[in-house]
């Protein structure tokens, strides 16, 4: 068993030094700059891009060290398969619920009804890039993409899944070798301390990244761009809020904790996701906070990274709502059988979508290309406001993965409930 290493607590700061307050101020300033001087605001995009690149730079080491050392500490490898099985059962069930919620709300609210858009008048070229990417990322390509070209190549790519594969193989190997590999596992534990301190350093730049990203969004697209599609955006935000508070709230209550207290605990990370439109920007911090909340490292290391590819509740809600909106706006009638087919296709096409800006739109293109009843060109209708919905997708995905990790840890008996209760207070 790898020896536990105490992480020294960070020094207490004045209230103005709290990161979440700095991010709130940065978001407000960024929105103001983008509204007052749109051209200048749009030019600040590199600030947001640079911060996201900084965080993505550290994601692979964080996942590898967390998961590999966690697996090495598992007494029996059969326990690993059990944890993975429970995690994927949860992912499948809750992801399906998200799709159903989006489908039901879309049929009840009908945000696209009455627009009477002629598909022939839509600019298909505006979404050509997304449809091409969707065609290039089929199921076979997705599965092959999990295997890196080289062992080192897993850490140089942009996908999380190859890192997961290498980490699982390395952790299993450490466990099988046993005592002779213990010094390697202890070294990796110490490397984890250094890497997570790097994360803390990088997160101090979060307000700058959030400022640049929000200034770009408002400056480029303008607050007024929401006017003609405000119904769809409002419906999506309200549906996501309903899903988080009711569905995830009920799951959290059954697991013995409050969804509202969890949201408050993760407020800094949620503000970061809101500012950057990327749930990956807060992935390392989420891993650290869930471990601090009493979830065992092996569970956190396995559930969080896999959830970022297989538990995308916000993306699933978005897909069914967006397809129904396009169908309603273009006067395309969808029977119950066609909607159920859409549900099944969306369940498959949503797997493997990365938690970054634009991935939901590409996944939507993949879904529409398989369900030819709804015109793919209809995606041009929502292209202008997709950026505003991206934030909500990322926030819902992020909260969903936090809930999933705590629930699976509880099922495994790998959750310190007293610690979780104290932390959420």
Q: Could you tell me if 96 and 197 are in contact, meaning their C-beta atoms sit under 8 angstroms apart?
A: no
Q: Which pair of tokens denotes residue 297? A: 């490292």
- Lowest mean pLDDT across 44-48, 134-138, 302-306: 134-138
Q: Does residue 9 sit within a domain?
A: no
Could you read off the pLDDT of 83-113 as tens digits, one per residue?
888 998 999 899 889 999 999 998 998 887 7
- CATH number (domain holding residue 312): 1.10.3860.10
Q: Does residue 278 sit within a domain?
A: yes
Could you read off the pLDDT of 168-221 as tens digits, one per residue?
888 888 888 878 888 888 888 888 888 888 877 887 887 888 888 788 877 876
Q: Which carries the bigger pLDDT value, residue 111 or residue 294?
A: 294
User: What is the rounded CA–CA span in Å between residue 167 and residue 180?
Assistant: 19
pLDDT, averaged across the chain:
79
Q: Does residue 13 sit within a domain?
A: no
Q: How many domains in the chain?
A: 1
Domain with 297, as residue range(s), is: 18-424
Q: Could you tell me if 403 and 313 are in contact, meaning their C-beta atoms sit under 8 angstroms apart?
A: no
Conformation bin of residue 116: beta by default, left when phi > 0, alpha when psi is -120 to 50: left
Q: What is the pTM of this model?
A: 0.75
Phi, psi angle pair for 295, to nearest 5°: -80, 135
Q: Which pair of tokens denotes residue 339? A: 């909607």
Q: Does residue 339 sit within a domain?
A: yes
Could you read off the pLDDT of 320-343 as tens digits, one per residue?
888 888 888 888 888 888 888 778
Closest CA relative to residue 278, chosen from 269, 265, 289: 269
Q: Does residue 3 sit within a domain?
A: no
Q: Does residue 335 sit within a domain?
A: yes
User: What is the rounded CA–CA span in Å between residue 316 and residue 99?
Assistant: 5
Q: Does residue 6 sit within a domain?
A: no
């Amino acid at each position: 068993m790898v020896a536990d290493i105490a992480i020294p607590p960070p020094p207490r700061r004045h209230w103005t030094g709290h990161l979440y307050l700095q991010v709130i101020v940065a978001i407000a300033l960024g929105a103001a700059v983008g509204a007052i001087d749109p051209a200048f605001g749009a030019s600040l995009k590199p600030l947001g891009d640079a911060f996201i690149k900084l965080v993505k730079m550290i994601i692979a080491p964080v996942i590898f060290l967390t998961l590999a050392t966690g697996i090495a500490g598992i007494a029996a490898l059969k326990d690993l398969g059990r944890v993975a099985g429970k995690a994927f059962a949860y992912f499948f069930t809750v992801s399906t619920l998200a799709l159903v919620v989006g489908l039901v709300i879309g049929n009840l609210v009908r945000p696209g009804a009455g627009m009477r858009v002629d598909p022939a008048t839509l600019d298909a070229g505006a979404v050509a890039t997304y449809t091409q990417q969707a065609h290039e990322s089929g199921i076979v390509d997705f599965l092959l993409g999990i295997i890196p070209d080289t062992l080192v190549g897993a850490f140089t790519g942009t996908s999380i899944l190859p890192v997961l594969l290498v980490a699982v193989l390395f952790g299993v190997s450490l466990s099988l070798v046993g005592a002779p590999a213990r010094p390697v596992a202890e070294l990796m534990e110490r490397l984890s301390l250094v890497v997570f301190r790097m994360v803390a350093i990088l997160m101090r730049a979060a307000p700058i990244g959030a400022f640049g990203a929000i200034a770009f969004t408002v400056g480029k697209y303008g607050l007024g761009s929401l006017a003609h599609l405000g119904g769809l955006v409002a419906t999506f935000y309200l549906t996501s809020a309903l899903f988080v508070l009711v569905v995830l709230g009920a799951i959290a209550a059954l697991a013995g904790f409050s969804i509202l207290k969890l949201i408050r605990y993760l407020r800094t990370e949620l503000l970061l996701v809101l500012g950057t439109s990327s749930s990956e920007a807060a992935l390392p911090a989420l891993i650290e906070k869930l471990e601090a909340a009493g979830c065992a490292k092996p569970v956190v290391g396995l559930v969080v990274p896999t959830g970022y590819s297989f538990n995308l509740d916000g993306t699933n809600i978005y897909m069914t709502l967006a397809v129904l909106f396009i169908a309603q706006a273009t006067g395309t009638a969808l029977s119950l059988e066609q909607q159920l087919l859409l549900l099944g296709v969306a369940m498959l096409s949503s797997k493997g979508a990365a938690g970054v800006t634009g991935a939901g739109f590409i996944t939507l293109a993949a879904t529409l290309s398989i369900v030819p009843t709804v015109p793919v060109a209809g995606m041009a209708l929502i292209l202008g406001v997709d950026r505003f919905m991206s934030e909500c997708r990322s926030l819902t995905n992020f909260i969903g993965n936090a809930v999933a990790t705590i629930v699976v840890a509880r099922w495994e008996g790998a959750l310190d409930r007293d610690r979780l209760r104290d932390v959420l207070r």
